Amino acid sequence: MLRLAPALIAGAIAFAPLSLMAASAQAPTEQTPLFGVNPNFQNGTARYVNLAGEGFTFERVGSRAYMQFDNDEEVWALKATVGQRGDEFLKNDAGRLFLRMTEVGGVILYHADAPRGEPVARENVKPASLIPPDTEEAGFEGRLSAYLTLRLGKEISVQALPAGEAETKWYQDAAGVVAKAMVKAEKHTDNVRQVRILRGDVPDFKFNDAGVLTIYVDPKSGYFGRPSSDRVIRFLINRVSS
């Protein structure tokens, strides 16, 4: 049986409505000393669950963090800012808030079913790192092209063109994120005929009149070197379907 009570009580205390409203207006400041001793703020991997047993894996490396929900292949790259009261806020590249870690040890998760947040508890397990191994998935482009063609009801080709073998995993990861976004924003993909993943200095997009959606990735930056599905969806809505 999971030992949820202590962490969930701390999260519930931190989740008082007045605290939440005050935290939303906090400006970033320096980290407090507690960040060095509270396990929620230390480098490494951990698993958290809510009262329903739904969970996610969390990995921290300094001020950057990675997060993956159960039953979701996308790894979210999150950057942290610290509020005046000591709470830490973790957001993705589209500005969406995923987590608030309170100075007293509570962890609050934000998602579609809990937009005002819900407390989660840290499990006593050590999950594997979210950083993928240096391996290439053979036949990946063909399978992803077939998947998008089936889901979107039209022929879609996917090309991931890494400059070197060591970069392949990040190109394939980016292509999978783009496919997820296209399926979620299907009505905004009518003009897309091909998806290309190319190297770039920063994560970026380009769409041309031939229906080619190009995603630029920076492999050396890992998950932070490609756009999240949130950003891809925003681009599809604002640029591709406009």
Q: Would you kindly state where each structural domain of the chain is located, as residue ranges?
A: 5-122, 140-240
φ/ψ of residue 159, rounded to 5: -130, 120
pLDDT for res 242 = 61
Closest CA to 203 of 177, 183, 221: 221
CA dist 181 and 207 (Å) reads: 15
The structure's pTM equals: 0.81
pLDDT in tens, 110-143: 999 899 999 999 999 989 999 887 777 888 999 9
Which residues share a beta bridge with 91? 79, 97
Question: What's the CA angle centered on 30, arms 25 and 32, to 5 degrees?
Answer: 100
Q: Which CATH class is domain 140-240?
A: alpha beta
| 183 in Cβ contact with 152 (< 8 Å) | yes
pLDDT for res 36 = 52
pLDDT in tens, 138-194: 889 999 999 999 999 999 999 988 767 778 899 999 999 999 999 999 999 999 999
pLDDT for 196 beyond 90: yes
